[in-house]
Amino acid sequence: MMRTADLVASASRALRSNPLRSALTALGVIIGVGSVVAMVALGSGAQAQVERSIASLGSNLLIVVPGAQATGGVRMAQGGGGRDTLTLDDVEAIAGLEGVLAVAPSQRGNAQLIANGVNWNTRIEGVTPSYLMARDWEVAQGRFFDESEERQARRVVVLGATVARELFPNVDPIGQAMRISGGSYEVIGVLESKGQSGFGMDQDDVVLAPLTTVKRRISGRFRRADTVSQISVKAASEGELNRLQEDVENLLRERHRIRTGDEDDFTVQNLSSITETAAATTQVFTYLLGGISAVSLLVGGIGIMNIMLVSVTERTREIGLRKALGARQSDILHQFGLEAVTLSLAGGIVGLALGVAGAWGMTSLFNLPLVIAPQNALMAIGFSGLVGVVFGAYPAWRAAKLDPIEALRRE
């Protein structure tokens, strides 16, 4: 009976004696594991990017917008277009619900900005001081306006990072003056950068001003004085979000006198639900990419089986000699099986390294986070070993079944 160490040494010598063949045999597994690791990492990075982008809008957040419209049978929020159905009284009523941490009404509009001879068209949002808490936003420079400035409709603004960069390049914007819709406004702060949202919108391309200022002097002057285009509702915890969404919907139906069966004149968007839906969608694509790439592992396994069968044919006399010297069928079976598994595992390790490098290159190219779960890497290595076991079993069995006398007769 051959010892395990002897089997390992014999398998190693056989693989080293034909390095080019061994490398070509493992090539299919290398490509398979590398492509699976790279594709799964790319899909996971896209999923993480979507989740991060939606989360940047705010945590534990409900967004209430006026009206709804049907598009292809699917109800879509109008966002601020259509009828003005949300009022400041609705905001106060929502603030009284249990589990509400912050409520922030906002009035959205667009305007041409002029500063230092530079023009920039962007969106203007009139908000209250609670907007920062509701949207998990911080001020990077300067300060935010307070409740007194909001009540007095002061002409002060806080710029998004993109607006500050475009209008005040290489200049400290704090204290600078800019013109909006013919009026002069003072820049008192710059928001920290949030980047792109999950919907492809640059969140930093915005100007925040007191709600009363926007309603009286910019877009709101063409609307009813007590209406708002959006209400942001921050729940005290994620566990209360679904209950709070139901409470908000019931409250607004009651306040707007909407009868049972009639369509709501508002839409409540739960960002956690949107995140879950987006994550599930990208996960499907991740599995699809991984499944397509796994086909190359199957091809690699077939390649291992073919080469091992050739090896059995070439080494027939060696196998007969081993059996004549007392090697059992199990020894031959283990030796050839070990060779197949070694080839496959070596290919898996090399493929993992190449897959990580490829994933880094692709995520860098598409500006995505690099996400490689340790369990996925271990699974790829384990699966490559399984490929060696499965596809090396038949050649090993063929070798073990050879009759030693017939084997020794062969040239």
**pLDDT score at 345:** 85
**Domains of the chain: which residue ranges?**
4-53+277-409, 61-236
**pLDDT score at 200:** 59
Structure tokens at 112: 């041409």
Query: Which pTM was predicted?
Result: 0.62
Rounded mean pLDDT of 94-105?
91
pLDDT in tens, 267-300: 998 877 666 666 677 677 777 777 776 777 777 7
pLDDT in tens, 341-362: 888 888 888 888 998 998 898 8
The residue with greater pLDDT, 265 or 286, is 265
Burial 369-380 (b: 16+ CB within 10 A, else e): ebbbeeebbeeb
Kindly indicate the confidence band of residue 370, based on its pLDDT and cuts at 50, 70 and 90.
confident
The residue with greater pLDDT, 316 or 190, is 190
**pLDDT score at 39:** 83
**pLDDT score at 116:** 83
Environment class of 389 (CB within 10 Å of its CB; exposed 0-12, middle 13-18, buried 19+): middle
Give every CB contact of residue 379 below 8 A, 6+ residues apart in sequence.
none
Rounded mean pLDDT of 96-113?
90
Per-residue pLDDT at 241 exceeds 70: yes
**pLDDT score at 81:** 44
End-to-end CA distance of the chain: 27
Q: What percent of the chain has pLDDT over 70?
A: 83
Per-residue pLDDT at 57 exceeds 80: no
Kindly indicate the confidence band of residue 162, based on its pLDDT and cuts at 50, 70 and 90.
very high
Per-residue pLDDT at 40 exceeds 60: yes
- CA dist 274 and 404 (Å) reads 68
**pLDDT score at 14:** 66
**pLDDT score at 170:** 85
**pLDDT score at 103:** 93
395 within 8 A of 340, measured Cβ to Cβ: yes
Four-point Cα dihedral 278, 281, 287, 292, nearest 10: -130
Quick one: which of 143, 153, 166, 164 has its CA closest to 207? Answer: 164
**pLDDT score at 70:** 43
What SS3 string covers the chain?
CCCHHHHHHHHHHHHHHCHHHHHHHHHHHHHHHHHHHHHHHHHHHHHHHHHHHHHCCCCCEEEEEECEEEECCEEEECCCCCCCCCEHHHHHHHHCCCCEEEEEEEEEEEEEEEECCEEEEEEEEEECCCHHHHCCCCEEEECCCCHHHHHCCCCEEEECHHHHHHHCCCCCCCCCEEEECCEEEEEEEEECCCCECCCCCECCCEEEEEHHHHHHHCHHHHCCCCECCEEEEEECCHHHHHHHHHHHHHHHHHHCCCCCCCCCCEEEEEHHHHHHHHHHHHHHHHHHHHHHHHHHHHHHHHHHHHHHHHHHHHCHHHHHHHHHCCCCHHHHHHHHHHHHHHHHHHHHHHHHHHHHHHHHHHHHHCCCCCCCCHHHHHHHHHHHHHHHHHHHHHHHHHHHHCCHHHHHHCC
Identify the weakest region by mean pLDDT among 57-61, 95-99, 345-349.
57-61
Per-residue pLDDT at 184 exceeds 80: yes
- CA dist 132 and 195 (Å) reads 16
Per-residue pLDDT at 149 exceeds 90: yes
- CA dist 245 and 70 (Å) reads 21
Q: What's the mean pLDDT when you consider all of the chain?
A: 81
Quick one: which of 192, 241, 233, 186 has its CA closest to 210? Answer: 186
The residue with greater pLDDT, 259 or 178, is 178
Q: Which amino acid, 174?
A: I
